[in-house]
């Protein structure tokens, strides 16, 4: 095959192994924007004129999401506001917050920056310093609090659609974590988006859910988007990391296997019926959940106890 871009015959910079395409920088970027647009359309993620809160952590996925949603915007189709949650991880989150602020200035997007301290009265570092039970990994505490933080910030500014930069690899890791922990119910819940009528207060959308992680990173490089260069110091505590390697190794020898895994996940979500679990209302936050208090409220209360007992 000639070494030219499959689409425009320009100079190729990327070989998409799973499709056999060679793409020049421009055609590669257009293909990523088009993929995100198709995902939004296919799953009817957005309505005309909607206000969307974009979770912008300062990492590559969220900054690329903001960039692409800005580029996709036609005639005020939607309005964007960015939300950054600062967990309070010393020598890590500061750089990301700076990058998020600069990106919002560049796109002229309203930016709401809130910290765990403002939202919950403690930082993640405070909680982890006082943790005495290794069962509670950093991410199992931080993740639910981050999600709740974005929801609280969105509520504060009156927006009920939340977009996050979760990519295909994130979706597959979550799928496998749930599979390995015997929680098929959670897989069933992992729809392209959750809507308020299903008992959730917020509509949550993931426009990158069908795009490979390495392609988002490559898009960021090709479009000169500065993103946080260092990894979270707690990243290796998470099984996610091990699963990332497993799936990437499989993909290396079997290009396209990530899409097959995604299809299995979608089939379980859409076509397999499970005996409905009784949902109850969490009396702390008012959300529907399988337990009262819900798992997020339990994490908040545990974190409060840990920080108070040593203050």
Alpha carbon separation from 24 to 21, 136, 186, 251, 295 (Å, rounded): 10, 45, 39, 23, 46
The footprint of ligand SF4 (CB under 6 A) covers 87, 138-139, 142-143, 232, 234-235, 238
CB of 292 to Zn ion, least distance (A): 8
Tell me whether residue 10 or residue 293 sits nearer to Zn ion (CB atom): 293
Tell me whether residue 190 or residue 222 sits nearer to ligand SF4 (CB atom): 190
Q: In sequence order, what DSSP letters do the residues of 69-123 get, joined into one string?
A: HHHH--TTSEEEEEEEEE---TTTHHHHHHHHHHHHHHHT-EEEEEEHHHHHSS-
Tell me whether residue 152 or residue 179 sits nearer to Zn ion (CB atom): 152
Q: Which 267-286 positions form the footprint of Zn ion (CB under 5 A)?
A: 282, 284-285
Give the end-to-end CA distance of the chain in Å, rounded to a whole number.
67
Q: Which does 297 bind (CB under 5 to 8 A by kind): Zn ion, ligand SF4, none?
A: Zn ion
Torsional sign, CA 15, 21, 27, 33: negative
Q: Are 251 and 257 in contact (CB under 8 A)?
A: yes
139 contacts Zn ion (rule: CB under 5 A): no
CB of 83 to Zn ion, least distance (A): 20
Tell me whether residue 153 or residue 297 sits nearer to Zn ion (CB atom): 297
297 contacts Zn ion (rule: CB under 5 A): yes
Tell me whether residue 11 or residue 288 sits nearer to Zn ion (CB atom): 288
Q: State the Cα–Cα distance between residues 178 and 144, nearest whole angstrom.
A: 15
Q: State the Cα–Cα distance between residues 160 and 50, nearest whole angstrom.
A: 9
Range in contact with Zn ion (rule: CB under 5 A) among 138-146, 212-220, 234-242, 297-305:
297-305
Q: Which does 138 bind (CB under 5 to 8 A by kind): Zn ion, ligand SF4, none?
A: ligand SF4
């Amino acid at each position: 095959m000639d070494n030219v871009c499959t689409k425009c015959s320009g100079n190729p910079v990327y070989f998409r192994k799973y499709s056999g395409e060679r793409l020049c920088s421009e055609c590669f970027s257009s293909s990523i924007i088009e993929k995100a647009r198709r995902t939004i359309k296919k799953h009817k993620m957005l309505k005309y004129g909607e206000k969307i809160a974009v979770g912008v952590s300062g990492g590559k996925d969220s900054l690329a999401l903001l960039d692409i949603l800005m580029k996709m915007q036609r005639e005020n189709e939607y309005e964007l506001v960015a939300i950054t949650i600062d967990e309070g991880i010393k020598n890590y989150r500061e750089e990301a917050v700076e990058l998020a602020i600069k990106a919002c200035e560049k796109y002229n997007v309203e930016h709401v920056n809130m910290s765990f301290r403002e939202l919950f009265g403690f930082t993640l570092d405070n909680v982890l310093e006082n943790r005495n039970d290794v069962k509670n990994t950093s991410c199992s505490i931080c993740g639910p609090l981050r999600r709740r933080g974005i929801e609280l910030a969105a509520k504060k500014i009156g927006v009920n659609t939340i977009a996050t930069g979760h990519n295909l690899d994130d979706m597959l890791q979550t799928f496998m974590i749930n599979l390995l922990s015997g929680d098929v119910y959670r897989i069933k819940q992992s729809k392209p988006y959750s809507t308020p009528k299903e008992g959730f207060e917020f509509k949550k959308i993931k426009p990158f859910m069908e795009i490979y992680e390495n392609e988002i990173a490559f898009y960021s490089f090709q479009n000169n988007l500065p993103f946080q260069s260092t990894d979270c110091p707690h990243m290796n505590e998470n099984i996610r990391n091990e699963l990332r390697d497993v799936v990437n190794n499989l993909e290396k020898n079997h290009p396209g296997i990530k899409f097959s895994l995604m299809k299995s996940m979608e089939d379980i979500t859409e076509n397999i019926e499970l005996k409905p679990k009784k949902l109850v209302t969490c009396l702390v936050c008012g959300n529907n959940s399988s337990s009262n208090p819900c798992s997020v409220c339990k994490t908040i209360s545990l974190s409060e106890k840990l920080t108070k007992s040593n203050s």
